[in-house]
Amino acid sequence: MAGSRTAAVAIAAADEFTMDKVYCANCTHCKLIRMSAGNGSQYYLRVRCDAGMWKKKLGEEKVYKYFTVARRTLDECEYYEPMGDIKDFLKELKKNLPIKDEIYSY
């Protein structure tokens, strides 16, 4: 299937997407969470890896701003569990992601 692989890579390049990476956004372990802000009636959206793969230097869990989730990539991950076709998923996700860190109200 060399032809279809070539086509996939070409499409990937057009979308700034590569088949060689693992995209955390397409993994069942990548979870969207609310993080309280201010007096507790507002929140930010964050993403966390519930397989415990995102860590700060000192070992605490690291979470990322939701609007950056499409950028979370790894060369490989032993816990990666894809949720579906990555190309279509990322395309849809990028259409719907906020462009900056938004604050939401409960």
Provide the b/e sequence for 64-84 (b: ≥16 CB within 10 Å): bbbbebbebeeeebeebeeee
The size of the interface with ligand SF4 (CB under 6 A), counted in residues, is: 12
- Of 63, 66, 75, the C-alpha closest to 99 is 66
Smallest distance, Å, CB 40 to ligand SF4?
A: 28
Binding ligand SF4 (rule: CB under 6 A), the pick from 13, 79, 83, 101 is 79
Q: Which C-beta is closer to ligand SF4: that of 12 or that of 50?
A: 50
Rounded to 5 degrees, φ, ψ at 4 are -70, -35
Minimum Å distance from CB 28 to ligand SF4? Answer: 7
Q: Is 27 in the site for ligand SF4 (CB under 6 A)?
A: yes
- Among 26, 28, 62, 65, smallest CA distance to 43 is for 65
Binding residues for ligand SF4, rule: CB under 6 A, are 22, 24, 27, 29-30, 49, 51, 53, 74, 77, 79-80
